[in-house]
Amino acid sequence: MAKNKKPKKEAEEAPAESEANEAVAEDGADGSDEVLDRISALEQEKAALEDRLRRALADMANMRRRIGEDMKRASEEATMRIARELLPIADSFRLSLQADVKRDDFYEGVKLIESMLSDLLSRHGVKHVDAEGKPFDPNFHEAMAMEPRDDVPPGTVTAVHQDGYVIGDRVLRAARVVVSQAAEPPDEKSGDEAESSNDEQQN
């Protein structure tokens, strides 16, 4: 009789073991979900940090660029202030070189000083505006007078009253110039009247 009771006991223990295995499986599934959720959260955090890093690097690059531009502008402003004071001196030397009276020693001395001053301005980025014979450009030229001409296209700079200068892409002083305009055609009426007058005189 005792031997018949043992299988019954094992049969009672089998459902309990199965339930335990299912509980372990459920716990394992819950643990896997938690791990996957944690990995997903970490990936999102990583993406957010990488985006913040890219933004910070872009802001730093923009800051460097702005600082560089500000420094360049400040340098140009300082040079422009000095150059504006030197330009009248350069003008005086240039006018002296254009004078009719040219004593050799005096002329060569003035020419040397004018050349040194031009070199000084050039070294600081101040460049002369080449205007004569060029099309009029209001960005670099200031028209002082118009001149009827039939040998050049209208709107051509025919003479320069005062030289212009630029520093970088900024105009330090516009060139003061004379600009050509189309020559007026001869008055046909005046020509007819002159011809009529000649005929009367012949009669």
Instruction: Let me know how long the chain is.
Output: 203
pLDDT digits (tens, 9 = 90+) for 105-156: 677 777 777 788 888 788 878 888 989 999 999 999 999 999 998 888 999 9
- Within a domain: 150: yes
Provide the token pair at 87.
């330009």
- Within a domain: 157: yes
In the chain, the percentage of residues whose pLDDT exceeds 70 is 72
**Which value, to the nearest 10 degrees, does the dihedral of the CA atoms of residues 21, 23, 25, 30 take?**
-170
User: What is the pTM for the complete model shown?
Assistant: 0.47
Name the domain count of the chain. Answer: 1
Which DSSP symbol is given to 48?
H
- Within a domain: 89: no
**What is the domain-level CATH number for residue 133?**
2.30.22.10
- Within a domain: 13: no
Nearest in space to 159 (alpha carbons), one of 140, 170, 175, 182: 175
- Within a domain: 43: no
User: Domain containing 135: what range?
Assistant: 127-183
Q: How far is CA 141 from CA 46, 86, 110, 157, in A?
A: 58, 20, 27, 9
Q: How many beta carbons lie within 10 A of that of residue 107, not counting itself? A: 14
* Distant-in-sequence contacts of 115-118, Cβ < 8 A, 24+ apart: 117/86, 117/89, 117/90, 117/93, 118/90
pLDDT digits (tens, 9 = 90+) for 151-176: 889 999 999 998 899 988 889 899 99
- Give the model's pLDDT for residue 1: 46
Report how far residue 83's alpha carbon sits from residue 171's, in angstroms, rounded to the nearest whole number. Answer: 12
Which DSSP symbol is given to 103?
-
